[in-house]
Chains A and B, each alone.
Chain A
């Protein structure tokens, strides 16, 4: 099972190494990881996407909690939340396909953030499914490269537990 886990940490040097080292040292995998400041500049928030069975996820959250610099760990599996990821994708369509790429970008509510003589760079924000779908579509038109931010997640108001979850 894939889990999105957010980890509130002290904003100190070395914290990322502690978290990353914990995953590598114990053989847990990280599918994506993003870090940023929070409202309180002394605290950073990491959003980690990982996978494993229940026992592994339980170990991951407990081990994270055990780190002294970790203030709080939230597994979004149990919580109503919104997740988003952004991708910047550079595509080089043939002349006759350029209009279609623009149309698809619009359908995905994306934006062209840069265009060159032969390429468009498109920005798409959304959940993982949407982004994957867009990447799949663009493959036909010649993707040059893309870069993804990794997922971020936030709880819906009131941190409600999912029904039956």
Chain B
């Protein structure tokens, strides 16, 4: 049966199970918007900026595990998506971005609102398409969803010239997808997995390093079983938080630049690192040459390029984390190790490090410490909220002081570190999970990067909570300047920070403020009670507060700075990019 390209597109989206699209209209996508106008199954959430739309689709995908969908117009609409696409790409988030394009016969002519978005996004998508014929549309959409959501997930962009959505073709839904150049490996090599099991059985001081791959693969249960069965402590990367319960006795919390002392010490003293769904990013490893100097390394990841990219690997296993861990457990159970006895002294040693340098801050009766706000949020939500963050100190304090026990509860831009991610991501998460409490823990700088999405949240009656840790500074930048640039605060003071309470009210949201420690809890309680609209909670916090511990960039991860040493003369600190 003949259908228009726009009809085919919308029909395909339905068959892919799409219920929500985040988007923004413009000339060349009006064919599609016209079909969506009276469609009953798909709802388009109109954001106020295309970047917001992509982050929202990304938050939707991270919170739900489903593919997030974006629809934007050509030219500026398309280029506005780039930051969002790069963000999703770095963190392996499955989204499909549909961008309008000028009619095929005008492509290359510098037509009005023409941009080569396929060229622009080539390096930051998993794959992208320019559809030149309406007859190809159904196949391309099917492939795009398949590629986005399988293997190591990632963003896929489909560029849709206006005549392609306006043209007609016979509609047939491809029964299956077959792409000869794309065959992700799901089952790990059994021989390698057996080697891994032997290594774990032999190890006296093993540490599991769990990353975002655990969450994407849905392998929390298997990871927990592995850790408990072999009495192996688990350190998590920022992306891995929640993949293993943060309150579990075997959890070491986060490792890396702002990781816990005991996680980093454990890694540096380990004789075996079991990297699971991680890519050994520099924020995690510190100086590579000094990373885990005495450890053999097992690396399990679905992306072969992650393996041996940054660190040497003794036992590489390419495969889906969940399937590999199942096989691994099977082998381990055949070995029947005396885990508990062997590991007791290792765990005791780690316990000593934990006592030596616990995570903490100095509470103050006069001024709000930002860590205190995060702790209170944790307490009041009983650790069960979906938390998004912006980027900077707010992000690191969240990672340190909110204990994530479940996967898909922390949505944060780990790889790209995109300020302005958290608030639109919270919108996506709230749409995906209407019954969950969704909170964006924000900085006063970052929140201004996508603050226009307040309108989106108000219109859609989304009860998102935004806790702004307002320090009047680009705090993380200020922290680096204080520590590594002789306190020369070059352009990191924000000078004018808007009255966030008034901003919220101007948009029709609720605005609250706390300026003293005793006001924190009442403001949070009041804010968390709001059910029908977004809330901005402005916490005026101590601007001098820094994130500790800290590994200076380029340092080994056990060369950490602590708050207690702040008063001591600045030791051997040099800025390293």
Contacts and interface: CB of A to CB of B under 8 A. Distances in A.
Interface of A: 9-10, 14, 17-18, 21-22, 25, 55, 58-59, 62-63, 65-71
B382 interface: no
A21 B147 CA distance: 20
Contact of A58 (B147, B182, B308): B308
B101 to A, nearest CB: 14
A62 B122 contact: no
Residue of B179, B181, B309 most packed against chain A (CB within 10 A): B181
Contacts of A55: 308
B507 to A, nearest CB: 40
B122 A17 contact: yes
B122 A21 contact: yes
B123 A21 contact: yes
B280 to A, nearest CB: 13
Nearest to A55: B308
B451 interface: no
B126 A68 contact: yes
B309 A59 contact: yes
Contacts of A25: 123
B300 to A, nearest CB: 16
Contacts, number: 35
24 contacts: A9-B181, A14-B118, A14-B122, A17-B119, A17-B122, A21-B123, A22-B123, A55-B308, A59-B309, A62-B304, A62-B305, A63-B305, A65-B304, A66-B303, A66-B304, A66-B305, A67-B181, A68-B126, A68-B127, A68-B147, A68-B179, A68-B181, A68-B182, A71-B180
Contacts of B126: 68
Contacts of B308: 55, 58-59
Please tell me the size bucket of the interface on B. Answer: 10 to 19
B419 to A, nearest CB: 23
A70 B181 contact: yes
A68 B180 CA distance: 8
A28 to B, nearest CB: 12
Nearest to B127: A68
A48 to B, nearest CB: 16
Contacts of B179: 68
B181 A69 contact: yes
B142 to A, nearest CB: 14
Nearest to B123: A25
A71 B182 CA distance: 8
A112 to B, nearest CB: 41
A15 B126 CA distance: 14
A59 B304 CA distance: 9
A22, A25, A68: most-surrounded residue (chain B CB, <10 A): A68
Contacts of A17: 119, 122
Contact of A10 (B181, B303, B305): B181
A68 B122 CA distance: 12
A11 to B, nearest CB: 12
Contacts of A62: 304-305
Interface in B135-192: 147, 179-182
Nearest to A54: B308
Contacts of A65: 304
A58 B304 CA distance: 10
B136 to A, nearest CB: 11
A18 B123 CA distance: 8
Q: Which 5 A-B pairs have the closest CB atoms?
A: A68-B127, A62-B305, A71-B181, A62-B304, A68-B182
Contacts of B119: 17
Contacts of A59: 305, 308-309
A66 B127 CA distance: 10
A39 to B, nearest CB: 15
In this complex, the member of A9, A58, A59, A66 whose beta carbon has the largest number of chain B beta carbons within 10 angstroms is: A66
Interface in B63-119: 118-119
